[in-house]
Amino acid sequence: MPAVAEVMSTNTPRPAPRGSDLPTCPVCADSMVAAEASAFVADNVISYLWSCDTCGYGFVTKHAVKRFSCN
């Protein structure tokens, strides 16, 4: 009995949405996986504290959150 296998491509047309949003350290260019802390700054703004494990440099990013409306 012959076996048939389908080969799936490992190339993705674009990176995963969350993976492409992760920052890199501006000092040593190491990639960062998780923020050290987060806080709501305003109604729709979240602030993240990033700290590099390699060189210790820290910085803050802010992101606006879209509101969802229920029907």
Assess contact for 67 and 44: CB atoms under 8 A. Answer: yes
> What's residue 22's pLDDT?
76
Q: Where are the domains of the chain?
A: 23-64
pLDDT in tens, 19-31: 556 788 889 988 8
Is the dihedral angle over the CA atoms 42, 33, 29, 12 positive or is it negative? Answer: negative
* pLDDT at 17 (0 to 100): 53
Tell me, yes or no, if the pTM score tops 0.85: no
Q: What does the pLDDT average to over 44-70?
A: 87
